[in-house]
């Protein structure tokens, strides 16, 4: 395609002028979608709803993206894209193509892919070899026999020792004592012989199994090498461009960061959209990525239909860092400013509720760090240390975007006692949150699910005032998309949250959370995940929550805390009214 071929640029319609164009391009890792971006996304949904084939291709769940662009003639339109493949296809009319077409049957990728597939088949057949299965059974039998023989002899030795001890207690002559000693020596020597025989039998069985499985090992080694070579070939040949006209391969971009590109890098919607724009003479103006189709929880990620999400940091972080060069990109959204004097954010002051020689109970504003971080921004802990002129020690944390009650210790002894209370789940915490609920239009970034029918078990259907329940979903870091967390039933840590619905209105549901555990982003994940409440917290752009300019924050507040004073043992209860 040439620079003038812009057949995939779609009109924003006659109403586009009402929405305006942002002054600066979207910062993709923390953003509020511009109205014109939402207009374009809505038009994509309408296009999909009018095509049964597209609905079928995307209904199981797919991340889509839109890029508002300006053409060389000054006209404005938008591009649409999707991540990865859809219905087994990388190229679908209406959507931008992949950065690099890997679907050509005679191309290098497909040829190498067929070799890897053949190796997979050979590994499968080798694993079904009856002789290999018999060798595996023999090895297992040898191990079990070793355990049985050694355990049986040790039991006999224990019985013999007890009998000898009883004989000695009753009194023995020298001949009897000599016999008892020889008996003990024999049993110990016999244990060594039995152990040696068992180990020899195990080693022989293991040798036979290893010889039989050597073919599989070699095949797997070859498959891994082929896969790595193919992956490197893709990243070496997948070249992207930025707004300055510079070109680099994905491999060059990641190597420049001292990193290795994860599998699938370059296949997300954002890089596909930007690459198409740059290579076709289009100037990017605004962008957004949103989920279409069934809620995603299979890989533990939080994805709900019609919700906008930031670009992933693992794959797209370094890649978009290069591709956005040359654009005037907006600064990452911040939820307030900080100072070491009187700090006021969203009508709320950072203030101390209680203070003595052992503890400080404070009210943290949204947008402020609890403890010193890597960004250099002042934390509440540092501010309190400066204002009190004394030592302030961290006991627990609140997410930066969460407001509310937090405890600090003023000496190591109190810190240790309070931390022990948290570890033993003796501290009772309550949080108040506003959840996004379908049905409200004001300030929402949710796109109507009309094209998908009943694709979500929307928590809105059963969350009525007075409803209570328990969410138990293990949580682990999403290493390819930090700082996001995900549900991980294999490697995640237990996370349990009690909830109670306390009210609801047009587009919102008020919930009281009582976390039993304290995992990172626990309440945010449990609220938004399809296997949790399936309703993100308002203002939670990390997990699909809508952004309300009137509130302009994450609507999550630590509203109550109950604990034991580390010195007096007195029960202490503090409450804080949420500012939303």
> What confidence category does residue 309 fall into, taking pLDDT thresholds of 50, 70 and 90?
very high
The structure's pTM equals 0.70
Closest Cα partner for 66 from 33, 100, 89, 90? 33
Q: Which of 5, 23, 358, 399 is catalytic?
A: 399
Which tokens belong to 217?
A: 């090992």
Strand partners, 70: 76, 283
What is the average pLDDT value for the chain, to the nearest integer?
Answer: 88
Cα–Cα distance, 514 to 576 (Å, whole number): 15
Catalytic (active site) residue 399: yes
User: Residue 300 in contact with residue 49, Cβ under 8 Å?
Assistant: no
Average pLDDT estimate for 6-27: 89
- Residue 335 has a pLDDT of 40
State mean pLDDT over 245-260: 94
Lowest mean pLDDT, pick from 233-242, 347-356, 444-453, 460-469: 444-453
Per-residue pLDDT at 347: 38
pLDDT tens digits along 544-562: 888 777 778 999 999 999 9
Number of helices (H) and strands (E), helices first, in the chain? 11, 21
| Six-digit token string for 190 | 């016999």
Give the homologous superfamily in CATH for domain 425-548. Answer: Pseudouridine synthase (3.30.2350.10)
User: In this structure, which CATH number among 3.30.2350.10, 3.40.50.1100, 3.10.20.30, 1.10.3720.10 belongs to the domain 336-424?
Assistant: 3.30.2350.10
Rounded Cα distance, 281 and 461, in Å? 47
């Amino acid at each position: 395609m040439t620079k003038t071929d812009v057949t995939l640029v779609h009109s924003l319609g006659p109403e586009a002028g009402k929405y305006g164009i942002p002054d600066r391009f979207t910062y993709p890792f923390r953003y509020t979608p511009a109205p014109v971006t939402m207009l374009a996304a809505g038009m994509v949904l309408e296009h999909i709803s009018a095509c049964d084939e597209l609905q079928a291709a995307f209904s199981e769940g797919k991340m889509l993206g839109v890029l508002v662009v300006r053409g060389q003639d000054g006209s404005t339109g938008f591009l649409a894209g999707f991540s990865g493949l859809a219905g087994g296809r990388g190229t679908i009319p209406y959507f931008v193509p992949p950065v690099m077409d890997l679907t050509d049957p005679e191309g290098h990728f497909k040829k190498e892919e067929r070799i890897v597939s053949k190796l997979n088949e050979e590994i499968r057949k080798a694993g079904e070899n009856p002789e290999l299965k018999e060798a595996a059974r023999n090895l297992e039998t040898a191990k079990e026999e070793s355990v049985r023989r050694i355990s049986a002899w040790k039991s006999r030795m224990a019985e013999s020792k007890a009998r000898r001890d009883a004989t000695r207690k009753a009194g023995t002559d020298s001949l009897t004592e000599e016999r008892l000693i020889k008996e003990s020596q024999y049993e110990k020597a016999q244990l060594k012989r039995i152990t040696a025989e068992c180990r020899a039998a195990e080693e022989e069985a293991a040798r036979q199994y290893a010889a039989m499985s050597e073919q599989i090992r070699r095949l797997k080694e070859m498959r891994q090498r082929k896969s790595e070579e193919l992956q490197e070939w893709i990243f070496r040949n997948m070249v992207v461009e930025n707004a300055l006209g510079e070109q680099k391969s994905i491999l060059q971009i990641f190597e420049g960061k001292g990193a290795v590109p994860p599998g699938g890098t370059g296949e997300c919607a954002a890089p596909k959209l930007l690459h198409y724009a740059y290579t076709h003479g289009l100037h990017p103006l605004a962008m957004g990525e949103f989920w279409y189709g069934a809620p995603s929880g299979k890989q533990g990620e939080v994805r709900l239909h019609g919700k906008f999400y930031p670009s992933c940091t693992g794959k797209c972080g370094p890649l978009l860092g290069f591709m956005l060069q040359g654009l005037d990109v907006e600064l990452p959204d911040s939820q307030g400013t900080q100072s070491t004097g009187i700090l006021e954010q969203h009508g709320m002051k950072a203030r101390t509720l209680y203070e003595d020689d052992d503890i400080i109970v404070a009210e943290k504003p949204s947008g402020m760090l609890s403890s010193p971080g890597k960004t250099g921004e002042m934390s509440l802990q540092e501010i309190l240390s400066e204002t009190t002129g004394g030592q302030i020690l961290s006991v627990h944390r609140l997410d930066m975007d969460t407001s509310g009650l937090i405890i600090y210790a003023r000496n190591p002894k109190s810190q240790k006692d309070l931390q022990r209370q948290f570890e033993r789940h003796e501290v009772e915490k309550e949080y108040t949150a506003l959840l996004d609920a379908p049905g409200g239009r004001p300030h929402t970034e949710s796109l109507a699910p009309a094209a998908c029918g009943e694709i979500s078990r929307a928590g809105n259907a059963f969350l009525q005032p007075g409803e209570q329940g328990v969410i138990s979903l293990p949580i682990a870091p999403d290493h390819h998309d930090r700082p996001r967390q995900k549900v991980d039933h294999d490697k995640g840590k237990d996370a349990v949250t009690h909830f109670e619905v306390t009210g609801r209105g047009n587009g919102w549901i008020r919930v009281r959370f009582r976390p039993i555990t304290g995992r990172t982003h626990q309440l945010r994940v449990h609220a938004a995940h399809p296997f949790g409440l399936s309703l993100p917290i308002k203002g939670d752009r990390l997990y699909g929550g809508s952004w309300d300019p009137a509130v302009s924050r994450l609507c999550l507040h630590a509203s109550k805390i109950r604990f034991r004073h580390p010195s007096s043992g007195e029960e202490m209860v503090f409450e804080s009214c949420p500012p939303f």
